[in-house]
Amino acid sequence: MFVRSLKRDSATCFVTPRCFDFITEKFIRRHSSTSFVPKHLPVREEDIDKLDRLISVSRNILILTGAGISTESGIPDYRSEGVGLYARSTNRPVQYRDFLKSEAVRRRYWARNYVGWPRFSSFSPNETHLSVRKLVNDIGIARCVVTQNVDSLHTKAKTRNVIELHGSAYRVVCINCDFKIERHAFQDLLANLNPDMQIIDQMIRPDGDVEMNQDQVEGFNIPSCPSCAGLLKPDIVFFGDNVPKNRVEQVRNEVQLCDTLLVLGSSLTVFSAYRIILQASELHKPIAIVNIGETRGDKHALIKISAKCGDVLPHLCR
């Protein structure tokens, strides 16, 4: 079953609109849309020309996107030097096995996610997302987008044929049954269970939560599945979890069908993305990578451009 977003009103809102506007404005001043973009050089014209020539002879491009395309929207990635989460904090993502076995871990996860959700859900697609949409929807030379991101910004951009490899933070699911609920509706449930929890201005994390100390999360209440009383989790692939087999097969099929693989904003560190590169390489598909800094797949690439995606993609849509 799928529960639609619950209607909001002033009686259930946990923060006034004026207060939220102040918090958002303050956050934007501290964390502009370029705050999490790594240092980079301007893109070279000859690199754009090489990529443009490859794209011009392609008719069935598979686009693989990573966290690097969303840094320009204000969402940090994990690994970028100096600006990624690992460079800014000693905290690390929750492991799936810990989420399953520890109520304390689940409480901490959902408390941080609850506080971070208003900001995370407000992020908008940037120039790269809109360019990808144009390549798929309008120009028609890209047939499918596989994204490692859980921010659903491709969906917000209204791009067709998007496979969310690692799921979406915009859904919550039960691990035992087929119950699903939209994340906005789940936010209302959490607000009703935790009326005294306050929104605070903190650095957002790539998966949508914020950093909080133990005192702040103590006593945070989380609901069980209303259908079977099972555990609820975001519909994402946690670190230490596996991509669903049917999704892996769907991606493998798209690699088979494509004539070019275009990688945008991914270091290809995690194997779920790197194996896409390996398959394309084995099938002798030309691979182009646009990413600030080195990637795990550089040796397989016909073209590698170390630049900001937002400086490159618009040129392909002219």
Other beta carbons less than 10 A from residue 43's beta carbon: 19
- For residue 153, give both structure tokens: 């910004």
Cα 206 from Cα 123, distance rounded (Å): 12
Burial group, residue 312, by CB count within 10 angstroms (0-12, 13-18, 19+): buried
Task: Give me the helix-helix angle, 183-193 and 103-120, nearest 10°.
Answer: 120
Nearest to 54 by CA among 127, 134, 135, 138: 135
Q: Which of 40, 129, 154, 166 is catalytic?
A: 166
Quote the radius of gyration of the chain (alpha carbons, Å): 20
166 catalytic per annotation: yes
317 labeled binding residue: no
Mapped onto helix, strand or coil, the DSSP state of residue 148 is coil
13 labeled binding residue: no
Pairing of strands 167-174, 2-3: unpaired
225 labeled binding residue: yes
309 labeled binding residue: no
Q: Are 64 and 266 in contact (CB under 8 A)?
A: yes
Other beta carbons less than 10 A from residue 217's beta carbon: 18
- The binding site for Zn(2+) comprises 174, 177, 225, 228
- The binding site comprises 174, 177, 225, 228
Catalytic residues: 166
